[in-house]
Amino acid sequence: MPNHHALLSVGPYEECFALIPLAHRSGVDAEVIVCESFDIAQARALAEKAATRPIAGEKRYFVVSCAYIPHEAQNALLKLFEDPPATAQFYIIVPRAELILPTLRSRLHVLYESPVVGRALNPETSAFLGAAFADRLEQIAMLAKAKDAHAMRVLINGIERAAGFGVGKYVREKQDVSYLADVLMASTYAETRGASHKMLLEHLALSIPEKAGR
């Protein structure tokens, strides 16, 4: 096992979790946190726990697995990892490396990256790209009605990933790729505090060609 205080694994949770030594993910000195979004409050709580002494061994081990980490939480983790407690070891598991900001990434050592990570789109993204304009807007309306900002953000990220995978194909087939600028814009603004994910998705719904995923 590499001697680094913060290790990053990218890929499916079960696949990445299995690579962590059993002694580092079980017992009184180990804590496993699995959630959709790891927020600023959780990041601060992690820093407080990491500052406490181990109970039985020489170190405390923390495993954090999540689908999304807001920028504020990443900045809090950056401060923690810049000057980590000597008795703390951290494992971060995310489905895609792009979720991690470059500044935080510089403080993490890659333990594992799945060879198939990121290639499969989630069903919501596939449905959105393969739908007609009206169906896309209906999908967005349902997410907005449920006030599911996380799902809308994940959808925007999925669209960005799909666009990135498809660039080469679009160019070879001489398809119109002008909407890729809109995808990049939406992905950038989606991480801004107070951004309207509904408006960003509605813009993408109309700028991306119908049934682009088919």
Residues in the chain: 214
Same-domain pairing of 76 and 21: yes
CATH number where 100 lies: 3.40.50.300
Same-domain pairing of 40 and 75: yes
Q: Which of residues 3 and 34 earns the better pLDDT score?
A: 34
The mean pLDDT of the chain is 85
In the sheet that holds 60-68, the strands lie side by side as 30-37, 60-68, 88-94, 6-10, 109-113
pLDDT(167) > 60:
no
Compute the average pLDDT of residues 97-126: 81
pLDDT(198) > 90:
yes
User: Among 23, 95, 78, 98, which Cα is nearest to 54's?
Assistant: 23
For residue 212, is it within any domain? Answer: no
- The kind and range of the H/E element at 150 are helix 149-172
- Choose one of 80, 113, 146: the last residue of a domain: 113
Lowest-pLDDT choice from 46-60, 66-80, 114-128, 185-199: 114-128
Same-domain pairing of 61 and 86: yes
d(CA 180, CA 95): 23
Query: Residue 154 has which token pair?
Result: 């994940």
For residue 118, is it within any domain? Answer: no
Most confident of 10-19, 85-94, 100-109, 142-151: 85-94
The range of the structural domain enclosing residue 129 comes to 123-207
d(CA 134, CA 126): 15
Q: Which of residues 25 and 160 earns the better pLDDT score?
A: 25
Q: Which residues contact 83 (CB under 8 A, 6 or more apart)?
A: none
Exposure string for 1-11, b = 16+ CB within 10 A, e = fewer? eeebbbbbbbb
pLDDT(169) > 70:
no
d(CA 180, CA 186): 10
CB 76 within 8 A of CB 42: no
Compute the average pLDDT of residues 185-201: 83
pLDDT band at 53 (very low <50, low <70, confident <90, very high): very high
Query: Residue 18 has which token pair?
Result: 């299995």
Query: Residue 90 has which token pair?
Result: 């951290």
For residue 108, is it within any domain? Answer: yes
Same-domain pairing of 16 and 91: yes
